[in-house]
Amino acid sequence: MSKHFFSDTTVLLGRSLRHITRSMDTIVTTAIMPIAMMLMFVYVFGGAIHTGSDSYVNYLLPGILLITIASGIAYTAFRLFTDMQGGIFERFQSMPIARSSVLWAHVLTSLVANLISLVVVVLVALVMGFRSGAGVTAWLSVAGILILFTLALTWIAVIPGLTAKSVDGASAFSYPLIFLPFLSSAFVPTDTMPTVLRVFAENQPVTSIVNALRNLLAEQPVGTDIWIALAWCVGILAVSYAFAMNTYRRKIS
Amino acid sequence: MTTQHAPAIQVHGLDKSYKDLHVLRGVDFTVARGSIFALLGSNGAGKTTAVKILSTLLKADAGTARVNGFDVATQAAEVRESISLTGQFAAVDEVLSGRENLALVARLRHLENPGRIADDLLARFSLTDAAARRVATYSGGMRRRLDIAMSLIGNPPIIFLDEPTTGLDPQARIEVWQAVKELAENGTTVLLTTQYLDEAEQLADRIAILHQGRIIVNGTLDELKQLLPPAKVEYVEKQPTLEDVFLALVGADGKDGDTGQHPIPARK
């Protein structure tokens, strides 16, 4: 690791944060789709969905937050792709800077942008009647899981960002990730699903993450869900980081 | 830290293939310190590949290249300290302003006072008026000037310019040429690639013609001219070229690269 890694990453992070603040529309669009989904599910379908929970918006919010992240990282891939297409990426690579700082700046920017979108979504949920009596520790745990999930998905997004041939290709990978919460306990309990689907739903990462978040916010014991959720997040993060770094190294050598 | 007497660039037997496409087949050349060296060739001749290898963006399959005395394969970090690359596409950040672009590079080169460095370069490249504007609003010529200005930060002794005037209008081209000449006068070594014969003729101390992955000739302009039989004298009426006409009409000194201040109105 180069001696300038932290200072170079900070400078480049400042650069891409400027990109974000000068195109706030990307953060707003990231938040609009999950907010629209939340409105539709709460006010259109919500009355007919029986979750065993008093408030459907309380039940729904964790899944909506994961969808927000899944759609937000499409912009990470897009921003990285744009850098690769223009000459700026090659300029950075031909300069005496820490080589991985270019990538880390994008990853940290993704984290900041997604956190802003998540705050916007939570604020809308509050207006819609979302309430939680969770204490500071529980909220910090929720934030920690969301940050880990964002980092895991961001490192996945880095791979198409580096390798895509077109803008559409760079962001298309996020569609299945956005869809994954629908095949989980995020919108409805898994009990009524056909067996095959239920087995999938109950064993895919979104369900354990959603359950852990929901229980934390509802001041319920989190049981083993939180450990399974953390294991998924850390596992996905480790694998996607290794793949992304490997792709990056091949790209710049 | 460098061997000051070694040539700025020494390339020997450089080979590079992409799958079955043999782009470079044993390229040799040497660039003296403080000179302008033009690598001339048509599209696909391998110019960009050669520049990318010299600027440590690509690895050669075979052969050696030393830049500022450092081996590009084994001393990449030292090479990067010695060079600046202005790639084929303007390597500027469209979202940032011109001043922010310059300050960004100054910070990444770990220099003190990035703001002052930016202001000096903005003045030197006649971009002060546009300093606070987003680069997305710049004309092609302004963008190229900013691009070259960004490459000068930290005074690297060697600068690579990959097709610096491709896609520019005649005025912007002259502005870029002026900037390159000033660089060489201040002792910077410039390696530029071009597909325009007049550009090589105008700027370069030495010209090498890269054709199908090989350097087929390498010499000064006079040496190259002597390869053909001596010119025979003919009397031809001197007509102004279209470039002469164009520049006379629009004014050759349009430094801002913008429109609106010229004696003859642009199309309405």
Q: Give me the domains of chain B, ranges plus CATH numbers.
A: 9-250 (3.40.50.300)
- Please choose, from the candidates A82, A109, A85, the residue with its C-alpha nearest in 3D space to the C-alpha of residue A12: A109
Structure tokens at A9: 């990453």
Neighbours of B253 (CB within 10 A): 11
Residues of A in contact with B147 (CB under 8 A): 87
**Cα–Cα distance list, A161 to A39, A67, A73 (Å):** 31, 19, 10
**Would you call B24 exposed, middle or buried from its count of C-beta atoms within 10 A (0-12, 13-18, 19+)?**
buried
Residue A79 domain boundaries: 5-252
Q: Check residue B94 and report its DSSP letter.
A: S
pLDDT at B264: 46
As for how many domains chain A has, the answer is 1
Given phi > 0 = left and psi -120 to 50 = alpha, else beta, which region is A62? alpha
Structure tokens at B197: 């014969």
Averaged pLDDT for residues B157-164: 91
CA atoms within 13 A on the CB side of A16: 29
pLDDT at B1: 47
Mutation target vs A (from B68, B86, B95; most A CBs, 10 A cutoff): B95
pLDDT digit string, tens, across residues A36-88 = 999 998 888 888 887 777 788 899 999 999 999 999 999 899 999 988 887 78
pLDDT digit string, tens, across residues A162-203 = 998 888 888 888 888 888 888 888 888 888 889 899 999 888
Contact B146, B138 (CB under 8 A): yes
pLDDT digit string, tens, across residues B27-55 = 999 999 999 999 988 888 888 899 999 99
pLDDT at A89: 87
Question: Is residue B76 scored above 60 in pLDDT?
Answer: yes
DSSP A44-71: IIGGG---SSS-HHHHHHHHHHHHHHHH
pLDDT at A85: 84
Contact B199, B180 (CB under 8 A): no
Question: Is residue A149 scored above 70 in pLDDT?
Answer: yes
| Confidence class for position B82, pLDDT limits 50, 70, 90 | very high
Quick one: CA torsion of A204, A206, A212, A217, rounded to 10 degrees? -160
- Chain B interface residues (partner A, CB cutoff 8 A): 52, 55-57, 59, 77, 80-81, 83-85, 87-96, 100, 104-105, 107-110, 134, 147, 150
Beta bridge partners of B85: B160
| Confidence class for position B261, pLDDT limits 50, 70, 90 | very low
- Chain A interface residues (partner B, CB cutoff 8 A): 4, 7-8, 11-12, 15, 18-19, 22-23, 86-88, 90-97, 252-253
